[in-house]
């Protein structure tokens, strides 16, 4: 049976968040602990776990938010246009990102759907997207009766390889959707150059990249439109929620109309009547919850970065562990902390066995996305009346066959191991626990293979 990756990923995050260590940043320049890895027996074989006490719970509630939240509910002004909280959040988030405008939506998925509409993605068009992403990136494209065309993943960066994009362009290509997966910015300069050359729109899937930076600018301001998710597991959570950001007033007005049942808005007045649209409006209470967390997001981003930098510096010294290569001059935000795992350096211990042994050490980890284009949702789409009518069977067969060319992505799906973002919200000694757990598993890998 195929996994439901949403549930798999979210239950993995929940496991990682189980237990609750108070958030306390002790990020001073401590030297790494002396490792006793070789001596200690792995927890899976009856030894003591490398990490005790669990990890930070997610999401988090703060008592000081309560008066304002209660006030919103008591006011009975809950709908987007009944009060000013949603607009205030939008202004705050735009300012934080250095975007000209922001539009709040009901989710990251709907932010993507609205953005593709605003960039004129229509039935029968193609959108070039990274295959290594949460399934919503595929689905947002499919919901416009457009085809998600995959440009291969660079195994070193886990993001789209810009060199693989151009060969995917056809007469039907309308947009490129780079995904800043795990909060690691894609190499946007070459992507934008290709888009300019071929007159394509760029919609950033920044649903895991709140405050991530590329060459001094924030993700979500690098393409035509940027999309964010505020779902419960994300760094800025409100249960459900999303946003679109842009440097273009006109594009956000177009998004605003579409997300508000097609009402005439700002520069998108048309003849003053309705245009096509849907209802993807955020509520007041969600906006208050989000606005209250902006400062927290800024602080926590620095904590995650410091811990991730420490992990990367030390993981690179362990044979068989390859930290991710980042785009030049970029600052990720680590929604997941990932590295590639080579069983050959662990006596053939499979990635699944490695994750099991690490879990026993109190350090939950695992693979994230698999080759989702084989899951059946694309087969279902291309077998549908609408898609057959729009492309014809021959073109759809060639499309299906092209998945085999995604060699880089296959490798990434098979070798990547990730830690949850909540594990980076701890202290330096917890990072040492993670390193110790890996060394311990490596030192005893021959025995663990047989366990
Ligand atoms: C979470 C996520 C989405 C979808 O966001 P929702 O708010 O859950 O609809 C889209 N793309 C990526 C990469 C995501 O991580």
Per the structure block, which two tokens stand in for 393?
A: 């069977």
- Tell me the CA–centroid distance for residue 137 and ligand 1, in Å: 7
Please give the share of the chain, as a percent, with pLDDT higher than 90: 88
- Tell me the CA–centroid distance for residue 20 and ligand 1, in Å: 25
Give the integer Cα–Cα distance in Å for 90 and 172: 34
Please state, as a whole number, how many other Cβ atoms lie within 10 Å of the Cβ of residue 46: 8
Q: What is the pLDDT of residue 33?
A: 52
Q: Among the atoms of ligand 1, which is closest to the Cα of residue 140?
A: 10
Per the structure block, which two tokens stand in for 116?
A: 């593709």
Start-to-end C-alpha separation, the chain: 25
Ligand 1 pocket, 208 CB below 6 A?
yes
CB 152 within 8 Å of CB 129: no
- Edge-to-edge order in the sheet of strand 416-420: 321-323, 336-341, 416-420
Instruction: Specify the long-range contacts of residues 371-380, CB closer than 8 Å, at least 24 apart.
Output: 371/131, 371/403, 371/406, 371/409, 371/410, 371/413, 372/5, 372/131, 372/135, 372/138, 373/131, 373/138, 373/150, 373/403, 373/406, 374/403, 375/2, 376/2, 377/135, 377/138, 377/139, 377/142, 378/138, 378/148
Does the pLDDT at position 186 exceed 80?
yes
- Tell me the CA–centroid distance for residue 109 and ligand 1, in Å: 6
Please name which of 176, 160, 185, 432 lies closest in space to residue 315, comparing C-alpha atoms.
432
CB 282 within 8 Å of CB 104: yes
Give the integer Cα–Cα distance in Å for 191 and 275: 31
Ligand 1 pocket, 179 CB below 6 A?
yes
CA quadruple 176, 204, 58, 76: dihedral positive or negative?
negative
Tokens 């993670």 -> residue: 434
Q: What is the pLDDT of residue 274?
A: 86
Give the integer Cα–Cα distance in Å for 153 and 150: 9
**pLDDT average, residue stretch 40-48:** 95
Does the pLDDT at position 8 exceed 70?
no
- Tell me the CA–centroid distance for residue 136 and ligand 1, in Å: 6
Q: Among 135, 203, 204, 207, which is best to mutate for testing ligand 1, by the most ligand atoms less than 8 A from CB?
A: 207
Give the integer Cα–Cα distance in Å for 33 and 158: 30
Q: Among 59, 107, 109, 235, which is best to mutate for testing ligand 1, by the most ligand atoms less than 8 A from CB?
A: 109
DSSP string spanning 159-172? Answer: SB-GGGTGGG--TT
Give the integer Cα–Cα distance in Å for 406 and 150: 8
Q: Among 137, 232, 369, which is best to mutate for testing ligand 1, by the most ligand atoms less than 8 A from CB?
A: 137
Of the listed ranges 148-162, 170-184, 262-276, 388-402, the least confidently predicted one is: 262-276
Ligand 1 pocket, 205 CB below 6 A?
yes
DSSP state of 265: B
Of the listed ranges 270-274, 316-320, 406-410, the least confidently predicted one is: 270-274
Give the integer Cα–Cα distance in Å for 115 and 102: 12
**pLDDT average, residue stretch 187-199:** 98
Tokens 């929620």 -> residue: 241
- Tell me the CA–centroid distance for residue 271 and ligand 1, in Å: 34
- Tell me the CA–centroid distance for residue 296 and ligand 1, in Å: 21
Question: Nearest-5° angle of CA 180, CA 254, CA 264?
Answer: 155
Does the pLDDT at position 351 exceed 60?
yes
Please state, as a whole number, how many other Cβ atoms lie within 10 Å of the Cβ of residue 180: 31
Ligand 1 pocket, 133 CB below 6 A?
yes
Does the pLDDT at position 39 exceed 50?
yes
Q: Among the atoms of ligand 1, which is closest to the Cα of residue 335?
A: 15
**CB-neighbour burial class of residue 326 (10 A; exposed 0-12, middle 13-18, buried 19+):** middle
Ligand 1 pocket, 237 CB below 6 A?
no
CA quadruple 15, 16, 17, 20: dihedral positive or negative?
positive
- Edge-to-edge order in the sheet of strand 213-214: 217-218, 213-214, 330-331
Q: Whose CA is nearest to atom 2 of ligand 1?
A: 207
Please name which of 131, 438, 102, 357 lies closest in space to residue 242, comparing C-alpha atoms.
102
Q: How is the chain split among helix, strand and coil, in percent rounded to 5?
A: 45, 15, 40
Ligand 1 pocket, 134 CB below 6 A?
yes
Does the pLDDT at position 59 exceed 80?
yes
- Tell me the CA–centroid distance for residue 226 and ligand 1, in Å: 12
Q: Among the atoms of ligand 1, which is closest to the Cα of residue 208?
A: 15
Give the integer Cα–Cα distance in Å for 277 and 288: 25
pLDDT, tens only, 389-442: 999 999 999 999 999 999 999 999 999 999 999 999 999 999 999 999 999 999
Q: What is the pLDDT of residue 314?
A: 97
- Tell me the CA–centroid distance for residue 235 and ligand 1, in Å: 12
Q: Among the atoms of ligand 1, which is closest to the Cα of residue 234?
A: 1
- Tell me the CA–centroid distance for residue 317 and ligand 1, in Å: 33
pLDDT, tens only, 70-91: 999 999 999 999 999 999 999 9
- Tell me the CA–centroid distance for residue 134 and ligand 1, in Å: 6
Give the integer Cα–Cα distance in Å for 120 and 294: 32
Q: Among 105, 129, 134, which is best to mutate for testing ligand 1, by the most ligand atoms less than 8 A from CB?
A: 134
Work out the mean pLDDT of the chain and round it to a whole number.
92
What is the pTM (predicted TM-score) of this model?
A: 0.92
Q: Among the atoms of ligand 1, which is closest to the Cα of residue 180?
A: 13
């Amino acid at each position: 049976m195929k996994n439901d990756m949403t549930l798999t990923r979210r239950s993995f995050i929940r496991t990682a968040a189980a237990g609750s260590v108070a958030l306390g940043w002790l990020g001073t320049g401590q030297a790494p602990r002396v490792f006793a890895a070789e001596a200690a027996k792995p927890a899976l074989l009856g030894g003591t776990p490398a990490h005790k006490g669990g990890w930070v719970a997610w999401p988090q509630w703060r008592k000081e938010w309560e008066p304002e939240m209660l006030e919103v509910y008591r006011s009975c002004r809950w709908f987007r246009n009944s009060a000013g909280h949603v607009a205030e959040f939008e202004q705050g988030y735009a300012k934080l990102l250095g975007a000209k405008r922001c539009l709040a939506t009901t989710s990251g998925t709907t932010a993507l759907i609205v953005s593709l509409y605003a960039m004129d993605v229509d039935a029968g068009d193609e959108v070039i997207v990274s295959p290594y992403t949460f399934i919503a990136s595929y689905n947002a494209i499919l919901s416009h009766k457009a085809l998600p065309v995959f440009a291969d993943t660079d195994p070193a960066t886990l993001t789209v390889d810009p060199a693989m994009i151009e060969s995917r362009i056809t007469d039907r290509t309308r947009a490129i959707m780079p995904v800043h997966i795990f909060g690691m910015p894609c190499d946007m300069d070459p992507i934008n150059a290709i888009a300019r050359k071929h007159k394509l729109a760029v919609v950033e899937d920044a649903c895991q990249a709140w405050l991530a930076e590329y060459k001094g600018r924030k993700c979500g301001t690098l393409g035509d439109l940027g999309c964010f998710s505020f779902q419960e597991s994300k760094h800025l959570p409100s249960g459900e929620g999303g946003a679109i950001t842009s440097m273009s007033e006109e594009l956000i007005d177009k998004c605003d109309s579409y997300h508000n049942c097609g009402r005439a808005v700002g520069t998108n007045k048309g003849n003053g009547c309705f245009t096509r649209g849907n209802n993807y409006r955020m509520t007041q209470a969600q906006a208050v919850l989000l606005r209250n967390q902006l400062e927290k997001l800024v602080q926590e981003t620095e904590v995650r970065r410091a811990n991730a930098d420490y992990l990367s510096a030390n993981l690179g010294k362990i044979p068989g562990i390859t930290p991710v290569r980042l785009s030049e001059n970029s600052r990720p935000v680590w929604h997941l902390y990932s590295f590639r795992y080579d069983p050959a350096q662990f006596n053939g211990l499979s990635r699944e066995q490695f994750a099991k042994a690490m879990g026993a050490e109190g350090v939950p980890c695992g693979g994230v996305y698999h080759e989702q284009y084989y899951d059946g949702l694309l087969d279902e789409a291309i077998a549908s009346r609408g898609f057959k009518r729009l492309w014809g069977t021959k073109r759809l067969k060639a499309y299906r066959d092209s998945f085999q060319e995604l060699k880089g992505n296959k490798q990434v799906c098979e070798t990547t191991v990730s830690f949850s973002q909540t594990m980076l919200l701890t202290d330096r000694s917890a990072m040492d626990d993670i390193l110790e757990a890996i060394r311990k598993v490596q030192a005893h890998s021959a025995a663990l293979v047989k366990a």
